[in-house]
Every structure is written in structure tokens, then in C-alpha cells.
Amino acid sequence: MSQSRPIRVALVDDHHLVRAGIGALLRELPDVEVVGEGSDGETAIRLAQESVPDVLFLDLVMPGMSGLVALERIIGRQPDLKVIILSMHSSEEHVVRALQLGAAGYMLKDVAPEELPLALTAVMGGDTWLSSAISRTAIAEYVDRTAHEAPHDTLTARQLQVLKLIAEGHSSKDIGAELDLSVKTIETFRAQIMERLDIHDVAGLVRYAIRQGIMPL
């Protein structure tokens, strides 16, 4: 896991022993720097913004704001951040929803410690990491569901919002000002939307939005 600089990692889990154990394992890795820890969704959002991690390990079930709600809000503002969900739940429903909301990985809490560096290497390389116990069923369920959906049904709420504004003719600068996001973030969303819909020009996005009723004539 050789890097020009350490991978900046933040960790949020409401179980103190779990967080302490994972944190200790992460600190043993030579190319990792733990830049923040927390125990709830609000802290996760704050750490993502203030600590600027490359990877955020995020508990799925926490009191108050759930990990999925926190995930959607974090990715809505920082689409480049790699978020790996931590969970005891291996059901397809949980895994698929996390992936749809923009998670870069889904790790079960009972995996072997050796999974941590493998997961970090995978997501930093642009791949999706799923614990081996859930890979086959989760991917099969994900493919099955998305095969029966319109392509934009797999977009996050923020991506759909950006798509609508693009289709209405707003520039990235205008969209950024309206949503209180940087132009770079809007451009990242634009690239993600084009890749997800397999449409690679604005005119095509406009036609798609009209055809699907996202933007009425």
C-alpha cells in the first residue's frame, strides 16, 4: 500500500471497543494516518469537512442520525470522499442502498484484520470493496434491481438535483452558488451523472431529462 503520502483516514462508530480496535489496527499500518474519530452521524459530517480524510469508515447503525443519512449528506458535499460502511448487517438491502448512496465499500465488522489494508488499497484505486461474505449476493441483488430501474433511479438525491439544474441550462458556477457547493464539486457530480447515464454531452442530458419527466417541457 505504498503512497507518496499517508492515506488520511477518519473513523466513526458508536461502539467504543469496536472503534478502539479498528483505530488501533489502522494506526499499525505504515501508510495510514488516522485524522479523526467520532461516534455519531453529526460528528461524521463534521470530520469529513474539517479533517479532510481520503477515506471515512462509517458505522451503519448509530443513535440519532443513521450512517446512511450521514453518508448521503457527506457525499452530497464531498463526492470524491471514499466512504466505507461498517456494519454487522450483510443483507442485500443494506449493501445495495449504501452503494446507491455513494459508498465506496461495505465492510462487515467481524472480518479478519487483513481486510483493512486491502479495502483501503481498493477504494483508493477507484474500486468498490465488499467483504467476501457479501460480495456475490450483494452484487447479484444490485444488478437485478438496477436492471429494472430507469438509469436515473440509481442517482443520489443530490445528483438528481444537479441533473435537473444542468438540464434547465444553469452553468456549473450558477449551480454551485445555488447549492452552496464549489464549481469543482459540481463538475464532479456532472461527470458522475454522465457516467451513470452513459450520456456524455449536455444536450444529451437535456433530452434525457425531458424524456424522463425530470424537467418538463
**Helices of type H across 39-131:** 41-50, 67-77, 92-100, 115-124
Q: At what angle do helices 172-179 and 183-197 cross, to 10 degrees?
A: 110
CATH 3.40.50.2300 residue spans of the chain: 7-147
The pTM of the full predicted model, rounded to 2 decimals, is 0.71
Three-class DSSP category at 48: helix
* Closest alpha carbon to 49 in 67, 74, 72, 69: 74
CB 116 within 8 A of CB 29: yes
pLDDT at position 95 is 86
**Span 8-47, pLDDT tens digits:** 999 999 999 999 999 999 999 999 999 999 999 999 999 9
CATH 1.10.10.10 residue spans of the chain: 151-211
**Span 190-212, pLDDT tens digits:** 998 998 888 888 888 888 887 78
Residue type, 187: E
What CATH number matches the domain at 151-211, 3.40.50.10440, 1.10.10.10, 3.40.190.10, 3.90.550.10?
Answer: 1.10.10.10
**Span 89-136, pLDDT tens digits:** 887 778 888 888 899 999 999 999 999 999 999 999 999 899 988 866
pLDDT at residue 141 greater than cutoff 70? no
pLDDT at residue 72 greater than cutoff 80? yes
Q: How confident is the model at residue 142 (pLDDT cuts 50, 70, 90)?
A: low
The arithmetic mean of pLDDT across residues 46-74, rounded, is 93
What CATH number matches the domain at 7-147, 3.40.50.720, 3.40.50.2300, 3.40.50.2000, 1.10.3980.10?
Answer: 3.40.50.2300
pLDDT at position 41 is 94
Any idea what DSSP says for residue 30?
Answer: T
